[in-house]
Chain A
Amino acid sequence: MIEIDAVERRYDGVAVLSEVTLSLPKGGLTAIIGPNGAGKSTLLSVMGRLQKPDAGRVTLQGLELSRASGREVAKKLALLRQDNHTAARLTVRDLVGFGRYPHSRGNPGPEDHAQVTRALATLGLEPLADRFLDQLSGGQRQRAHIAMVLAQDTDCILLDEPLNNLDISHAVRIITLVRDAARQMGKTVVVVLHDINMAAAHCDRIVVMKGGRVLRHGTPAELMQAEFLSEVYETPITVHELAGRLVAVY
């Protein structure tokens, strides 16, 4: 599905990603975790073609990202960055409607409206649909942006810290939602997460990064090891089994 082949990325000569090689199969929810400055967001940006790698390449369903047309990729891959703010005066419905742009090019048909309605309902945004974005709280705005990504209806979805600004109830709702999308609808979802326990509880695979490299890549059970995590975060961490889940305590 997504093949990352020897990707390098440097800012002013400093390597932020070095020789990242990763293969993500179709379907399933993958979390990228790691300490600050590990290169998680940069990797997601490169996967979402927001940044061009200095070396190496990324292919998506056999489509090489740097060569494919933007619109073709936008029909297969949607992404959400961390800080999303726009100066334009948009309602939630307007914003979610933009998710249909790759399909409709600003000329939405009934199928597009249906997708927008569905995305609004999925995120529980119907009561807010006609509010302007600047009248919403940070969490509500975050949900609106996630709805836009869902409306884009792509096989692959990349989310950079989607649980930021969300309370527990919405965080759980959204992680469950993307997990279901991954498992039931066969979508490939990659999220950058800070909460290890959230990643362990809900994701199928975890990619652990540090210093611009992928340290390990495996299932939560394989990676939730006290010694390994303590080393990665340079903090004493213990792992316990609690209510059938592996929980890291720090």
Chain B
Amino acid sequence: MSPEIRNRQIAWRMALLVVLALAAAAAFMLLQARGSWDFLLPFRGRKLAALAVVAVAVALSTVVFQTVTQNRILTPSIMGFDALYVLIQTGMVFGLGAGRVSTLDPRLMFGLELAAMILFALLLFRWMFGPRARNLHLLMLVGIVLGTLFRSISGFLQRIIDPDSFTVLQDRLFASFNSVDPSLLTLSALLVAGLALVIWRLVPELDVLALGREAAIGLGVPQERLVHGLLVLVTVLVALSTALVGPVTFLGLLVANLAYLLMPTGRHAVLLPASALIALITLIGGQTLLERVLHYDTALAVVVEFAGGLVFILLVIRGVAR
């Protein structure tokens, strides 16, 4: 395939993704619009913005994470992030009681969750990237073990908690786009936009990092510093999206692998926007389907996990995800 044909193919597919994303957004805003627009527009617009922020954060964090760690199956959630979120929520309800947690300032909660998750990631990296050990596989293994630990502690606390508190907790733990706080949304949107800009400026370095550690050092990229910095960016992005709507574990894996499959290139200038667009289509399309067709009969997480699971099995069978 000549470069011209390949570039045209990439451009067409990108255009198609943009059209699909816009169509999904339009469908979300306009379908079954019964009632006053004065109410519908801000109401649905806010939800749409939340979906968009989460889609971009999850897509960018997953692609960057997979490039930095040189793999295509593990995602940030494997490092125990979702589990940490669940543990923080469970710990708060357990320690403070359901009543206190429900009345806490949402911005304070958000800040606390964000700080805890970033702190956790930084400690992990600080320890892992010490003078000696520099092994990402070990890092991920530690992530899996810690994830299991967090889940076990959460499970234990949830069993000894009183049933009323447990109901409150369960409500907080499901990924939900219906209960997003507007002030948090603006803050997250700004942060995600800023981080996306930083990542966009590092696109040439990401391309080189994808060649592997040794090739990257050989080409003069400050590999260690860059990997460290990028993992912190990934942490903040995952923390933002998790703290905003709760865990959506499968989404990153789904959209990143679809982007690799769809775009015959290793260039991050293509892969990053493609994965973000696929995430937008999946989340907004899924939410539209859920609200307008299935009439809230199920949670969005179920739709995403179902589609993600199917695609993932397909990828494994076709041998694409090495």
Q: Please say whether chains A and B are actual partners in one complex.
A: yes
* A residues in contact (CB < 8 Å) with B: 48-50, 69-75, 78-81, 84-91, 93-95, 98-99, 101-102, 105-107, 130, 132, 152
- Contact (Cβ within 8 A) A71 B70: no
Nearest Cβ on chain B to A39's Cβ, whole angstroms: 17
**Chain A to chain B: the 7 pairs with minimum beta-carbon distance, closest first:** A106-B204, A74-B220, A88-B266, A71-B220, A88-B210, A70-B220, A102-B220
A-B contact pairs, 15 of them (CB 8 A): A50-B214, A69-B220, A70-B217, A70-B222, A86-B266, A87-B71, A94-B265, A94-B267, A98-B207, A98-B215, A102-B219, A105-B204, A106-B203, A106-B205, A152-B219
Chain A residues contacting B221 (CB-CB under 8 Å) are 70, 101
Nearest Cβ on chain B to A144's Cβ, whole angstroms: 12
Nearest Cβ on chain A to B119's Cβ, whole angstroms: 29
- Contact (Cβ within 8 A) B207 A86: no
B1-25 CB mask vs A (1 if < 8 Å, else 0) is 1110010000000000000000000
B254-278 CB mask vs A (1 if < 8 Å, else 0) is 0000001000111100000000000
Contact of B211 among A75, A91, A98 (CB under 8 A): A98
- Contact (Cβ within 8 A) B265 A89: yes
In the bound complex, CA of A71 to CA of B220 (Å): 4
- Contact (Cβ within 8 A) B217 A50: yes
Chain B residues contacting A101 (CB-CB under 8 Å) are 204, 208, 219-221
In the bound complex, CA of A98 to CA of B218 (Å): 11
Residue B34 interfacial (CB < 8 Å)? no
* B residues in contact (CB < 8 Å) with A: 1-3, 6, 67, 70-72, 203-205, 207-208, 210-212, 214-215, 217-223, 260, 264-267, 322
Chain B residues contacting A69 (CB-CB under 8 Å) are 220
Chain B residues contacting A90 (CB-CB under 8 Å) are 265-266
- Which of A48, A73, A88, A101 has the most C-beta atoms of chain B within 10 angstroms of its own C-beta? A88
Chain A residues contacting B215 (CB-CB under 8 Å) are 81, 84, 86, 98
- Contact (Cβ within 8 A) A73 B220: yes
- Contact (Cβ within 8 A) A87 B220: no
- Which of B71, B220, B265 has the most C-beta atoms of chain A within 10 angstroms of its own C-beta? B220
Nearest Cβ on chain A to B225's Cβ, whole angstroms: 9
In the bound complex, CA of A80 to CA of B211 (Å): 12
Nearest opposing residue in chain B for A148, CB measure: B215
Contact of A87 among B6, B70, B265, B267 (CB under 8 A): B70
- Contact (Cβ within 8 A) B212 A84: yes
In the bound complex, CA of A96 to CA of B2 (Å): 16
Chain B residues contacting A87 (CB-CB under 8 Å) are 70-72, 210, 322
Nearest opposing residue in chain A for B204, CB measure: A106
Nearest opposing residue in chain B for A70, CB measure: B220
- Contact (Cβ within 8 A) B266 A89: yes
- Contact (Cβ within 8 A) B217 A107: no
Nearest opposing residue in chain A for B263, CB measure: A89
In the bound complex, CA of A91 to CA of B221 (Å): 21
Nearest Cβ on chain B to A51's Cβ, whole angstroms: 10
Chain B residues contacting A70 (CB-CB under 8 Å) are 217, 220-223
- Contact (Cβ within 8 A) A50 B220: no
In the bound complex, CA of A86 to CA of B322 (Å): 11
Nearest opposing residue in chain B for A99, CB measure: B219
In the bound complex, CA of A145 to CA of B307 (Å): 38
In the bound complex, CA of A75 to CA of B278 (Å): 38
- Contact (Cβ within 8 A) A106 B207: yes
Chain A residues contacting B70 (CB-CB under 8 Å) are 87
In the bound complex, CA of A111 to CA of B222 (Å): 25
New contact pairs (20) apart from A88-B207, A90-B265, CB-CB < 8 Å: A50-B217, A70-B217, A70-B222, A74-B219, A80-B218, A81-B214, A86-B210, A87-B71, A87-B72, A88-B210, A89-B265, A90-B266, A94-B265, A94-B267, A95-B211, A98-B215, A101-B219, A101-B221, A106-B203, A130-B2
Nearest Cβ on chain A to B202's Cβ, whole angstroms: 10
In the bound complex, CA of A92 to CA of B6 (Å): 14
- Contact (Cβ within 8 A) B218 A48: yes
Chain B residues contacting A74 (CB-CB under 8 Å) are 218-220
- Contact (Cβ within 8 A) B260 A89: yes
Nearest Cβ on chain A to B6's Cβ, whole angstroms: 8
Chain A residues contacting B322 (CB-CB under 8 Å) are 87
- Contact (Cβ within 8 A) A94 B266: yes
In the bound complex, CA of A16 to CA of B215 (Å): 23
- Contact (Cβ within 8 A) A86 B212: yes
In the bound complex, CA of A213 to CA of B219 (Å): 28
Nearest opposing residue in chain B for A149, CB measure: B218
Chain A residues contacting B207 (CB-CB under 8 Å) are 88, 98, 106
Nearest opposing residue in chain A for B2, CB measure: A130
- Which of B67, B204, B211, B221 has the most C-beta atoms of chain A within 10 angstroms of its own C-beta? B211
